[in-house]
């Protein structure tokens, strides 16, 4: 057991370290590292899929495997509302690691929009509420059209 003096010094060091932080309990993401919204006017391919789902291929990757709706994928993304408000982004806080998605567990528009893409593709997927969270009565996004900027890093079989 540490002596009372060592304990007090250790506690004081922790208190001083916490006081030096603006707010040690602030977990607000740093959105300054999020890239600007992808420009769909420069897309090399534009598709309108069933249900009003829009998929814009900004640039094509070199991956060999095409994504199916049953795959797992690693990707970077930013979810925005149509007014450009950022809801979440893997690029926040310097975005050094892509997220893993098991596509069968995602919303229909995300799953359907990624189908056919491959590693290295940069896409914009615009998802109407019916293919997003429209069927989820408690979701704050149920009436929202969702804008996803996506960079696929890997297709996992």
Q: Is the pLDDT reported for residue 155 higher than 50? A: yes
- 106-137 confidence digits (pLDDT tens): 999 999 999 999 999 999 999 999 999 998 88
* Alpha carbons 33 and 95: distance in angstroms, whole number: 7
pLDDT at 43: 96
Tokens of 44: 């090399």
pLDDT at 14: 47
Distances (CA, A) of 139 to 6, 84, 142, 146: 50, 19, 5, 13
* Alpha carbons 151 and 143: distance in angstroms, whole number: 25
What average pLDDT score do residues 85-98 get? 86
Question: pLDDT above 90 covers what percent of the chain?
Answer: 71
pLDDT at 19: 47
Q: Is the pLDDT reported for residue 13 higher than 50? A: no
- 36-83 confidence digits (pLDDT tens): 999 999 999 999 999 999 999 999 999 999 999 999 999 999 999 999
pLDDT at 63: 92
Report the mean per-residue pLDDT for the chain.
86
User: Which DSSP category does 132 fall into?
Assistant: T
Q: Domains, the chain, ranges and CATH?
A: 27-156 (3.10.50.40)
């Amino acid at each position: 057991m540490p002596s009372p003096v060592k304990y007090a010094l250790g506690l004081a060091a922790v208190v001083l370290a916490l006081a030096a932080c603006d707010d040690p309990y602030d977990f607000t993401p740093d959105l300054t590292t999020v890239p600007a919204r992808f420009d769909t006017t420069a897309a090399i391919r534009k598709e309108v899929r069933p249900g009003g789902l829009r998929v814009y291929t900004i640039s094509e990757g070199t991956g060999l495997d095409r994504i199916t709706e049953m795959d797992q994928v690693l990707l970077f993304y930013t979810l925005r509302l149509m007014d450009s408000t950022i809801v979440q982004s893997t690029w926040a806080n310097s975005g050094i690691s892509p997220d893993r998605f098991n596509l069968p567990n995602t919303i229909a528009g995300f799953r359907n929009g990624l189908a056919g893409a491959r590693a290295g593709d940069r896409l914009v997927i615009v998802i109407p509420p019916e293919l997003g969270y429209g069927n989820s009565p408690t979701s704050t996004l149920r009436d929202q059209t969702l804008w996803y900027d996506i960079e696929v890093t890997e297709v996992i079989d």
